[in-house]
Amino acid sequence: MTTSIDKISLEEAKARVIKLRELINDYRYHYHVLDESIMSEAAADSLKHELTQLEEKFPELITPDSPTQRVAGKPLDKFEKVKHEKRMISLADVFSEEEIKDWLSRNEKLLTHQDIERLEFFTDIKMDGLACSLHYKNGKLEKAVTRGDGLVGEDVTMNVRTIENVPLTLRGSNLPERLEARGEIVIFKEDFNKLNELQEKHGEKPFANPRNLAAGSIRQLDPKVAASRPLRFISYDLVTPDKPTHKEAYEALRNYGFQTSGQDKTFKTIEEVFKEIKHLGETRQNLPFNTDGMVIKINNRDVYDRLGIVGKTPRAAVAFKFPAEESTTKVRDIVISIGRTGAATPVAILDPVVVAGSTVKHASLHNADEIKRLDVRIGDTVIIYKAGDIIPQIKEVLTTLRPENTEPFSYEKALKEQYPELEFERPAGEVVYRVKGETSDLILKRALEYYASKPALNIEGLGEKNVIALVDSKLVSSIADLYRLKVSQVSSLERFADLSARNLITAIEASKTAPLAKFITALGIRHVGGQTAIALANKFHSLEGLSNATEEDLLEIPDIGKIVAESILAYFADEDNTKMLEELKSLGVHPSFTDTSSLPLAGKSYIISGTLESYDREAAEDKLRALGATVTGSVTKTTTALITGEKPGKSKTEKAAKLNIPIILEADFLKLIGE
């Protein structure tokens, strides 16, 4: 949520930080102390990341009790407390390649040239379990301690001794007098599923997830409970005896008899690390255990130690979090989109956030009942997820973070404000508001007519009567169906012969590579006319670029205000529209874009008034735009010239004269366009 954080004031940040800390601490207490979850770990990570960003922007807001300044929750009272000989630290989270590069850059500033030349990176999968430290004396397991708060943990030796893969006696000869190995206590996915099958077979409630079950099993006072669960200890660090590199430490762990993830690797360059992140991101679902990220460390342990610790995290290591399936963000606005069937669909405009690998800027709210159920309001912080990993949805509103004086969203009031010229009705038994008196066929016919009109794609032969024939015959039920038409189908209609059918199909085919601005116009986005479409094309260069635009991106364009920006965002948030655009793409519709910045009339602005002999108004405007000019509808100080034909508008000529704007005739216009 970098956009909102960049603009937030100190006072706003202070209030936000207080609420974030309260919610994160509540989550941590339930998760780490009570072994129950009040939200997903991905959502909690997102909140913590926002808190970290706010504290980085406003260091004066950092307090010792902030969740960013400690490792985990308090140890339970039911086990003996043990002070760690060396603090069990956690790692700072990073969420992008850019953040990893920043981490590396910060470290390189603290290292010698020789250190930098010898840098290697050690990586391993980040396990999702209960962190634990195992202590050995003369090769025998002496003590097992949970992480606790990083300084003091809990003695869970009796339970850990029951874990089959924990070596009670280390393997090998010449064993060190003291050895401390750290790792995660986990349950593999297959074991977890089998355990739940047994639970259901016995009529008992299935367990929620492997991580909570592993933690709960270790915290049972009766070791028999732990012994009955398929627990494993996966080691990730050898604290003592020390080894020169993390790679050698892992090799030593395996030699001593500890199981590791099997995913550890070393790399010479950070680019190789990025490839490994991509590889693990694509294959992690096939791993036998759950994971939410990858650990990246500077391999040389001397360099690692010399870099030291900042707050509660080491400088020389970070945890890259895989794209979250859930995240938190804020609702900026709620706009309503009118779909091709006349249905009014509410859309939440969000602060951009990455979910499941892509940036999400809006989410469908479906209908008025769903808004009421969620009680989502403008300004709310929400948890979002991707349904089927595709469609962004709002899962929950975090009401504890709700700003003061927010009002419940009024659907009917929003409809009146956003569409004052339309009437809506909610048919009995339906949850959707629709445009009153409009049928889906009528709306489709209008959309097709506009799509094929001269201001849009100018598809010859697709006028009003032919559109009616195609829709009424059921050959066309969407804009995409135009590109599925065959000559034999069209020629069978009463209005068409073989030649006219072929000409229509040829014209439709030619529209596949129409100029991007024309295609944007053809979409019929509310408040987006020809000139606005040109501005959008020049700004984003592709339909994909436009569909990914944020409100800030749109507002950077002169003459585009909040209403137009919201209309564009609502259009690309509508599931019907996005589905149609994907269909068009699959059918070979690829609008073209030509950079007009170097064309002869680039940067110049013209108005045409009156009737020209050589071209009709639209064709004349297209000629000017093809040379890079802007064509507007009203005279302003920035107008280059007013082009007049027969019977020009009196108000325009008078205003041009008043502002000393040149008034040129058709002959001058023809010279201007090179004819």
Query: What positions carry a catalytic annotation?
Result: 126
Residue (of 507, 509, 479, 504) closest to 582 by Cα position: 479
Whole-number Å distance between alpha carbons of 175 and 477: 77
Whole-number Å distance between alpha carbons of 393 and 377: 15
DSSP code, position 207: P
**Which residue carries 């006696």 as its tokens?**
169
Sign of CA dihedral 246, 247, 248, 254: positive
Task: Map residue 383 onto helix, strand or coil.
Answer: strand
Residue (of 210, 234, 226, 435) closest to 340 by Cα position: 435
Please spell the DSSP secondary structure of 567-604, one letter per residue.
Answer: HHHHHHH-HHHHHHHHHHHHTT---B----TTSTTTT-
Q: C-alpha angle with apex 525: 524 to 529, nearest 5 degrees?
A: 75
Q: Find all residues with CB under 8 Å of 349, minimum gap 6, and list them.
A: 331, 332, 333, 334, 335, 361, 362, 551, 566, 569, 570, 573
Whole-number Å distance between alpha carbons of 51 and 468: 57
Please spell the DSSP secondary structure of 279-305, one letter per residue.
Answer: HHHHHGGGSSS-EEEEEEEESBHHHHH
Q: Name the region of 396 (left: φ>0; alpha: ψ -120 to 50; beta: rest).
A: beta
Q: Is the peptide bond before 427 cis (omega within 30 degrees of 0)?
A: no
* Residue 408 CB-half CA count within 13 A: 11
Please spell the DSSP secondary structure of 386-397, one letter per residue.
Answer: EETTTEEEEEEE
Please spell the DSSP secondary structure of 603-635, one letter per residue.
Answer: T-EEEEESB-SSS-HHHHHHHHHHTT-EE-SS-
Whole-number Å distance between alpha carbons of 444 and 471: 8
Sign of CA dihedral 64, 66, 72, 77: positive
Whole-number Å distance between alpha carbons of 399 and 23: 10
Whole-number Å distance between alpha carbons of 546 and 591: 12
Q: Tell me how far CA of residue 50 lies from CA of 126, 211, 355, 373, 551, in angstroms.
A: 21, 24, 15, 27, 20
- Please report, for the chain, how many H helices and E strands are present, in that order: 27, 24
Q: 628 and 596 in contact (C-beta within 8 Å)?
A: yes
